[in-house]
């Protein structure tokens, strides 16, 4: 798909609309209506390191790889939005339209995997933005990085909400057989109208169920992540999502409570008020119910889950229905499990080990 074809993903793209930037002293308002937001793709070639090291106890990986910064899926709740501010951009429309492409990602990854110091830890694709967002159809950076992992027998974990992952199902299946691979499809809505309102550039729910089926059929250990749970909006859709995921071949299910760090709070609440005005007050009230009066909790171990009676009810609903349909219920920290020991990783000159 050509880059210009991405325009069809912007269903009702608003003009430039960004919350106040945390790192900029100057803030400028448009006197009249701002110009329409246009897709702005920036090819970055100076990156020297492609793997990011994670020290959070809330996620199940140490290393993550993100070939793209920003994401045209335009999910109002995306916790990665504030990272765009480090580039001097905004966390709102800028995050959805100003996309940075890390052109050297595949070669940098191959160099890292070939280093003697590399110990073969699982690499998480999409620690922040979706590695299979529409631009991947053109650049194929994720595919080439996966080919490097296959060639070097390095385990991977993939999280995506894109149907484009189906293109690489066979490749991911190869990695699963030689090193270990886990794929997680993110799906928080069964109702396509609600999905369109909150995540306008992401594939509709039915396409994501197809992705689960394609990955499972390729021999990949596949699960569904009900993320985020948005109290007052989508908790009633947990049973349907889990049922359809199981029918498609998922073997486990995880869930994450909505997080609204920094500017994400403003982006999310504005989107809800605009798209779902009759439900906005209830949604905000329910979020505060499970966040002890706030809208987010930055503390480790508490960011992904809530507190109080209503959260207990929602969490129990998830666990009961996961058990009912036969899905292993997992915390976010338990999702990635490399299938082979670190010694299985290959480096240049190691090929003779295959015969030993």
Tell me the pLDDT band of 15, cut-offs 50, 70 and 90.
very low
Reply yes or no on whether the pLDDT at 254 is more than 60: yes
Tell me the pLDDT band of 273, cut-offs 50, 70 and 90.
very high
Q: Tokens 């706030």 — which residue?
A: 294
pTM: predicted TM-score of the whole model, two decimal places: 0.85
Going by C-alpha positions, the residue among 241, 249, 124 that lies closest to residue 182 is: 124
- The CATH number given to 41-338 is 3.20.20.70
Contacts of 193 (CB under 8 A, 6+ apart): none
Per-residue pLDDT of 38-80, as tens digits, reads 889 999 997 788 998 887 666 667 899 999 999 999 999 999 9
Most confident of 34-43, 105-114, 322-331: 105-114
Tell me the pLDDT band of 22, cut-offs 50, 70 and 90.
low
Give residue 38's pLDDT: 82
What is the average pLDDT value for the chain, to the nearest integer? 85
Domain boundaries, the chain: 41-338
Reply yes or no on whether the pLDDT at 276 is more than 50: yes
What's the chain look like in SS3?
CCHHHHHHHCCCCCCCCCCCCCCCCCCCCCCCCCCCCCCEEEEECCCCCCEEECCCCCCCCCEEECCEECCCCCCCCCCCHHHHHHHCCCCCHHHHHEEEEECCHHHHHHHHHHCCCCCCCCEEECCCCCCCCCCHHHHCHHHHHHHHHHHCCCCEEEEECCHHHHHHHHHHHHHHHHCCEEEEEECCCCCHHHHHHHCCCCCCHHHHHHHHHHHHHCCCEEEEEEEEECCCCCHHHHHHHHHHHHHHCCCEEEEEECCCCCCHHHHHHHHHHHHCCCCHHHHHHHHHHHCCCCCCCCCCCCCCCCCHHHHHHHHHHHHHHHHHHCCEEECHHHCCCCCCCHHHCCCCCCHHHHHC
Give residue 10's pLDDT: 38
Q: How confident is the model over 14-31, as a mean pLDDT?
A: 55
Give residue 337's pLDDT: 52
């Amino acid at each position: 798909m050509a880059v210009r074809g991405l325009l069809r993903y912007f269903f009702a793209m608003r003009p430039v609309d960004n919350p106040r930037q945390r790192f900029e002293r100057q803030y400028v308002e448009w006197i009249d209506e701002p110009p329409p937001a246009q897709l702005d793709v920036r090819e970055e070639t100076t990156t020297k390191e492609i793997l990011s090291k994670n020290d959070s106890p809330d996620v199940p990986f140490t290393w993550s790889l993100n070939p793209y910064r920003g994401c045209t899926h335009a999910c109002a709740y995306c916790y990665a939005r504030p990272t765009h501010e480090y580039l001097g951009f905004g966390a709102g429309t800028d995050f959805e339209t100003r996309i940075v492409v890390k052109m050297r990602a595949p070669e940098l990854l191959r160099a890292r995997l070939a280093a003697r110091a590399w110990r073969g830890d699982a690499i998480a694709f999409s620690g922040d933005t979706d590695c299979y967002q529409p631009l991947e159809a053109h650049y194929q950076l994720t595919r080439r990085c996966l080919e490097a992992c296959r060639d070097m027998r390095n385990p991977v974990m993939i999280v995506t909400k894109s149907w484009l992952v189906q293109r690489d199902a066979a490749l991911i299946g190869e990695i699963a057989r030689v090193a270990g691979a886990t794929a997680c499809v993110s799906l928080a809505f069964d109702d396509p109208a609600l999905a369109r309102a909150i995540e306008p550039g992401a594939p509709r729910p039915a396409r994501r169920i197809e992705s689960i089926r394609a990955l499972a059929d390729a021999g990949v250990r596949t699960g569904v992540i009900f993320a985020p749970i948005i109290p007052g909006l989508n908790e009633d859709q947990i049973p349907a999502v889990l049922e359809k995921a199981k029918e498609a071949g998922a073997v486990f299910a995880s869930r994450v409570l909505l997080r609204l760090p920094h500017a994400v709070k403003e982006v999310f609440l504005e989107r809800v008020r605009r798209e779902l005005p009759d439900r906005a007050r209830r949604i905000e009230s329910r979020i505060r119910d499970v966040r002890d009066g706030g809208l987010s909790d930055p503390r480790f171990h508490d960011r992904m889950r809530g507190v109080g009676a209503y959260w207990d009810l929602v969490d129990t609903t998830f666990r009961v229905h996961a058990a009912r349909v036969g899905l292993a219920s997992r915390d976010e920290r338990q999702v990635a499990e490399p299938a082979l020991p670190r010694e299985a990783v290959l480096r240049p000159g190691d090929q003779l080990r295959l015969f030993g």
